[in-house]
Structure 1
Amino acid sequence: MKRFVWERYWSVVKKEVIQIKRDRPSLAIALVMPLMLLFLFGYAVNTDVSDIKMAVWNQSPSAASRELVEQFVHTEIFQATASVSGYRELEAMLDEGTVDVGLVIGPDYTRKKDRGEPAHIQLLINGSDPNIARTAMSNAQLIVQHQAIALQEKNLQKQGLGELQLPLELDTRVLFNPNMESIVFNIPGLIGLIMQNVTMILTAFSLVREKERGTMEQLVVTPIRPLELMLGKITPYVGVGLFSFCLVLLVGTAWFGVPVKGSIGLLVALSVLFLVTTLLLGIFISTVAKTQLQAMQMAFALILPSVLLSGFMFPRDSMPVVIQWLGGLVPLTYFLEILRGIFLKGVGAEALWKDIVGMGAFSLLILAVAIGRFRKKIE
C-alpha cells in the first residue's frame, strides 16, 4: 500500500492555489457572495411580526373607545391606518390587502362600559398569512384581557370591595434571547447555510473543471494518490472559506448586533471542521458529475433538502421521526446546533459533543466515499 507523501500533497495545493488566483469569478463568489447573502437574508428572513395594518370602525366615538384603539397601537404590533364606516368598506380593504385586521367597536360600547356591563368588540383578521393572523389574535386577546381586568378593578373599588386579587400569577424568564428577536436566532443559522452553499458549489466544480480542460488525464498518470489529491484540492479552499467565514462572522456581530456568548476559538475550530465537511461533499459531487452544469444541478439538489431538514427554517422536533433521521444525514444539522449553542447559549464542547461527533463522522464517511469514487474512475 502506497504511503502518504507530503511533497505530492503540497504540489496539488500549490497547483490549486494558482488555479484559484487565475479563476477570479470563483474567488469573487467565495469572498463577496457570503456577505451579499448575509445582508440579503439577514433583513429578509424575519419572523417577527409588527406594524400589522388595522382599520377601525368606531361606532361609539368617545374617550373610552379611543383609549381602546390607542392600547392596540401602543403595543407596536398594530398600526391604525384607516377608519371605515361599515362592514362593506372594511371587507373590501381586507380583500384588497390594504389592511390585515379590522377592529369593530359596537355602538353600545361606551354605554355598557360606563355601566359596568359586558361590552363586546370584534376583530376581523385576514388569515391568508397564518403567522400574522396568530400574532394579531394572541396580542388582541391580551389587550382585551388587560382592559377587562382594569375595568373589573374599577368596579370593585366603586363597590368598596377593594382591589381585584388574581388567584394565579405567572412569572416568566426567557433565557438566551430575552427579547425573543428572530434575527438573533437567524443570523447564526444564516452563517452556516451561506458557508455550506458557497463552499460546496466552489469545490463541486473542482474535479469537473479538470475533466473538461483535459488536465485530469495528466493527474492520472502521476503517482499522486487519491487521498493526496482530495486533501490537496480542498486545502486552499479551506483557507478561502475560513477567511470568508471570518468576514461573515464580523458582519453578523458588528452590523446585526448578534454577540457570540461562547468561545470564539471553539467556534472557529468547529467551523473549520464544517468547512472541510462541505468541501469534501463538493468534491464527492465533482467525482459523480461529468460537466460543471451537472455539478451545479447536483449541488442545488443537496442544498434545498439541507435547508428544510436541518432545522434552519422549521423546528426539527415537530417533524416526523423518519424526517428527523434524514436530517441527521445533513452536516448542516449538526453545525446549526453548534452555531446557536455557541452564539446564543455560550456553551462549550462538553454540551456540543454529540454534534461534533456527528459532523466528524459524516466528514470521514464522505471522504472515504469520495476517495473510492475517484479511485474507481482512475481504474
Structure 2
Amino acid sequence: MRALAIHLKNVARLAVKELRSIRADRMMMILVAYTFTVAVYTVATGAKLEARDLTIGIVDEDESDFARRLTDAFGPPLFKTVDRISAREIDSAMDSGRLVFVLEIPPKFEADLLAGRQTGLQLSVDATAMTQAGNGSVYIQEIIAREIANLKAGRETTTALPINLVVRARFNPNLDSSWFSSVMQILNNITLLTIVLTGAALIREREQGTVEHLLVMPVTPVEIMLAKMIANAGVILVAAMVSLVVIVEWALGVPVAGSLLLFATGAAIYAFSVAALGILLGTLATTMGQFGLLAIPVFVVTQLLSGATTPMESMPVWLQWGMRIFSPTPHFVAFSQGVLYRGAGLGAVWTDLAQVIAIGAAYFAIALSRFRKVIFS
C-alpha cells in the first residue's frame, strides 16, 4: 500500500507539472477554447446537411395556369425566389453555378395532362453540389407529383393511400442536422486534441531536452506516461463537457436525453484510450513535424470511418470489422449517440465501453513498451 501511495503521489505531482506546462502555452489554451466553442457552433449552424435555400430556374414554355401554380409551389424556406429564364439561358446559368436546378415545362403541358396524353418535364441538376442535388431532386419530384395530383383531382388533395401512414421521427423530431453535427463535432475534437496534446507533450520534452530531468528523478516510465495522459486528457474532457452544456444545450438548444455523468465517464475512458495512442505516435516521431504527419492521417481515418460522418453499415464488412477491432472511436460514437440522443443507460451501452477499455489497454501496453525503449534507453 505504501508503494502504491508513492506511485500515486508521483503521478499527481507530474500531472500538476503537465497542467502548468499547458497553462503556460497560451496558444494551446486558445486553440482548445476555440475548438470547443466557436468551431462547434459554426459547424453546427453553417454545415447544414438538409436542403435549404435551393436555387431553381423555371423555363415556362406552357404559360398555363398549372405552370404558374407549379412555379409558385417552389418557395422558401426550401427554395429561394424562382428565376424565370429562357431555354437559351440554361447553360450559362448552370455553368456559372448560379442555379443548381432548372425545370423545363414544355408547351401544352397542362392540356396534355388533362387529356391523358403522354408528356414529360425535364429537370437539369448541377450534381457538383452533391447534397443539394440529391435531397433537392427528391423534394422537387414530390412537389411536382403533388401538384399534378391536385390538377387531376380538380382541388387541393393528397395522394390517397390504402393505409394511414403516420411518421414519427424519434430523437430528432425536426430532422435538424445541427442536433447531429454539434455533438459529433465535440467527439471529433476530443479525438483530435487528445492525440495532439499528449503526443506534443512528449515531443516537446524531447526537443527541449527536459526529458533528461525526468530520467534523474525517482520516477518510473509508467508514472511519467500516466501523468501526461491524465493531465492532457483531463483538460480536453473538461472543455468537452463545458462545450456540451454551454454550446450544445444552451446556445444551440439541442436537448441531451441521457445522463451527463455517464457520458463524462465514457468520455474519460475514451480520452484515456486515444491519449495512449497519442503517446504511441509521439514515440514513433522525433520532431513535431513528423508527429503532425503521423497524427493527421490517423485522425482522418479514425473519424471518417467511425460512424460519426457516415453510417458504419454503408462500409464494406471487412472494413467495419477492422475499424471495430483496431479503433476505439466507432465504439465511442455508438456509446455517445446512445446516451446523448436516445437516453440509454449503462445496461444498453456497457459493451461499447468494454470494447473501448480493451482497445485502450492494448494501446497503453504498446505505448508503454515503446516509451521505455525510446525515453529510457
The alignment's TM-score, normalised by the length of structure 1, stands at: 0.89
Match of 1:20? 22
Asked if 1 retains the 8 angstrom alpha-carbon contact of 2:302 and 2:329, the reply is: yes
The separation in 2 between residues aligned to 1:78 and 1:164, in whole angstroms, is 23
Are residue 240 (structure 1) and residue 268 (structure 2) matched?
A: no
**Alpha-carbon offset, residue 114 of structure 1:** 5.7
Unaligned runs of 5+ in 1: 158-162
Are residue 185 (structure 1) and residue 180 (structure 2) matched?
A: yes
Match of 1:97? 97
The separation in 2 between residues aligned to 1:128 and 1:136, in whole angstroms, is 13
Q: For residue 339 of structure 2, what is the amino acid of its counterpart?
A: I
Asked if 2 retains the 8 angstrom alpha-carbon contact of 1:59 and 1:107, the reply is: yes
Asked if 2 retains the 8 angstrom alpha-carbon contact of 1:152 and 1:164, the reply is: no
**Alpha-carbon offset, residue 263 of structure 1:** 0.9
Show the 5 A alignment for 1:167-316.
167-249=162-244, 250-316=246-312
Match of 1:131? 131
Q: For residue 135 of structure 1, what is the amino acid of its counterpart?
A: N
**Alpha-carbon offset, residue 199 of structure 1:** 1.9
Deviations 1:25-47 (A, max 9, x none): 22332333332321342234321
Instruction: Report the aligned-residue RMSD.
Output: 2.5
The separation in 2 between residues aligned to 1:165 and 1:322, in whole angstroms, is 44
Match of 1:160? none
Match of 1:334? 331
Q: For residue 229 of structure 1, what is the amino acid of its counterpart?
A: I
- CA 1:216–1:40: 2 relative to 1, 3 Å: same
Match of 1:55? 57
Match of 1:368? 365
Deviations 1:50-106 (A, max 9, x none): 2221111112334332111112226x3333442112x22122212221111112222
The separation in 2 between residues aligned to 1:143 and 1:118, in whole angstroms, is 19
**Alpha-carbon offset, residue 169 of structure 1:** 4.9
**Partner of 2:264: helix, strand, or coil?**
helix
The separation in 1 between residues aligned to 2:234 and 2:241, in whole angstroms, is 11
Asked if 1 retains the 8 angstrom alpha-carbon contact of 2:74 and 2:82, the reply is: no
**Partner of 1:311: helix, strand, or coil?**
coil
Match for residue 33 of structure 2 among 22, 31, 34: 31
Asked if 1 retains the 8 angstrom alpha-carbon contact of 2:270 and 2:328, the reply is: yes
The separation in 1 between residues aligned to 2:32 and 2:316, in whole angstroms, is 35
The separation in 2 between residues aligned to 1:314 and 1:306, in whole angstroms, is 12
Deviations 1:244-264 (A, max 9, x none): 112321201212221101111
Asked if 1 retains the 8 angstrom alpha-carbon contact of 2:100 and 2:126, the reply is: yes
Asked if 2 retains the 8 angstrom alpha-carbon contact of 1:34 and 1:195, the reply is: no
Q: Provide the identity percentage.
A: 27
**Partner of 1:52: helix, strand, or coil?**
coil
Deviations 1:203-245 (A, max 9, x none): 1111221112222122123331122111122222233222211
Match of 2:43? 41
Asked if 2 retains the 8 angstrom alpha-carbon contact of 1:42 and 1:183, the reply is: yes
The separation in 1 between residues aligned to 2:168 and 2:23, in whole angstroms, is 52
Aligned residue pairs, count: 370
Q: For residue 47 of structure 1, what is the amino acid of its counterpart?
A: L
**Partner of 1:41: helix, strand, or coil?**
helix
Match of 1:351? 348
**Partner of 1:260: helix, strand, or coil?**
coil
Are residue 144 (structure 1) and residue 144 (structure 2) matched?
A: yes
The separation in 2 between residues aligned to 1:198 and 1:121, in whole angstroms, is 51
The separation in 2 between residues aligned to 1:38 and 1:92, in whole angstroms, is 37
Deviations 1:144-197 (A, max 9, x none): 222233233339x9xxxxx98544553322221122221112111111001211
- CA 1:114–1:30: 2 relative to 1, 3 Å: closer
**Partner of 2:123: helix, strand, or coil?**
strand
**Partner of 2:104: helix, strand, or coil?**
strand
Q: For residue 333 of structure 2, what is the amino acid of its counterpart?
A: L
Decide which moves more: 63-72 or 353-362. 63-72
